[in-house]
């Protein structure tokens, strides 16, 4: 897995442009209503994604946020199966385990990132490219739905706390966390140093995670 830094840098270059849309307080209500009225359409989006197809920006948005309104969304779920297999150098088995994890949670940036890297290790060029593009497109969709993350009003809404670190690393090029402050409304204010040595601050809203996790 020694190509992680190289691939992370490539992802950062692909993630171009932040949307300047203000975060809507009714955002999750809109997603909830969509899921209530269009569940069959959401299932088609998921099936198309898992079949290896490229989605539209709106479809990536619904794939990521709509998943949290399914019974399958378990934000505290942790599986160490793939890590154990990697430690045993059973990379093909680990890859299949991760594909199973993606079926369980198609919104997981961490799983996509791990699949991308493991596919690269295994020489699965087509799969590595697909997972990399999917990762980039979902992150872009997150920014389009939320804003730039540079203020609490435009906090980046994430499904999993681990997604904060994925976005910090791949998009903001964070190399170290200086400080992390939590507000009462479940918004993380993260101060970090990027690859150029500059200190920056970004905000993440993980309230959806907390609502379901409780």
Average pLDDT, the chain: 86
Residue 148: per-residue pLDDT: 92
CA-to-CA distance for 127 and 192, rounded, in angstroms?
A: 32
Residue 213: per-residue pLDDT: 59
- Indicate the Cα dihedral angle 42, 44, 49, 54, nearest 10°: -100
CA-to-CA distance for 180 and 203, rounded, in angstroms?
A: 10
To the nearest 10 degrees (0 to 180), the angle between helices 125-146 and 161-170 is: 100
CB atoms < 10 A from the CB of 112, how many? Answer: 25
Residue 5 has pLDDT above 50, yes or no: no
| pLDDT mean over 206-212 | 82
| pLDDT mean over 157-186 | 92
Give the predicted TM-score (pTM) of the model.
0.84
Cα–Cα distance list, 85 to 4, 92, 94, 97, 175 (Å): 18, 9, 5, 9, 28
Q: 147 pLDDT band (50/70/90 cuts)? A: confident
**Tens digits of residue pLDDT in 189-208:** 999 999 999 999 999 998 88
Q: 214 pLDDT band (50/70/90 cuts)? A: low
**Tens digits of residue pLDDT in 30-89:** 999 999 999 999 999 999 999 999 999 999 999 999 999 999 998 888 888 999 999 999
């Amino acid at each position: 897995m020694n190509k992680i830094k190289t691939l992370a840098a490539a992802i950062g270059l692909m993630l171009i442009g932040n949307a300047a849309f203000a975060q809507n307080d009714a955002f999750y209500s809109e997603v909830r209503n969509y899921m209530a009225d269009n569940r069959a359409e959401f299932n088609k989006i998921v099936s198309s994604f898992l079949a290896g197809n490229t989605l539209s920006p709106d479809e990536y948005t619904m794939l990521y946020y709509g998943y949290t309104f399914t019974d399958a969304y378990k934000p505290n779920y942790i599986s160490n199966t793939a890590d154990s297999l990697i430690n045993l150098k059973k990379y093909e088995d680990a890859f299949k385990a991760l594909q199973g994890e993606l079926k369980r949670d198609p919104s997981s940036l961490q799983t996509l990132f791990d699949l991308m890297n493991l596919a690269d290790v295994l020489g699965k060029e087509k799969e590595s490219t697909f997972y990399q593009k999917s990762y980039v497109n979902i992150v872009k969709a997150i920014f389009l739905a939320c804003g730039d993350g540079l203020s609490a009003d435009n906090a980046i809404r994430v499904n999993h706390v681990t997604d904060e670190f994925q976005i910090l690393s791949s998009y903001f090029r964070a190399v170290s966390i200086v400080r992390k402050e939590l507000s009462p409304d479940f918004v993380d204010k993260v101060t970090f140093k990027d690859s150029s040595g500059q200190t920056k601050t970004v905000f993440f809203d993980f309230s959806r995670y907390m609502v379901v996790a409780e």
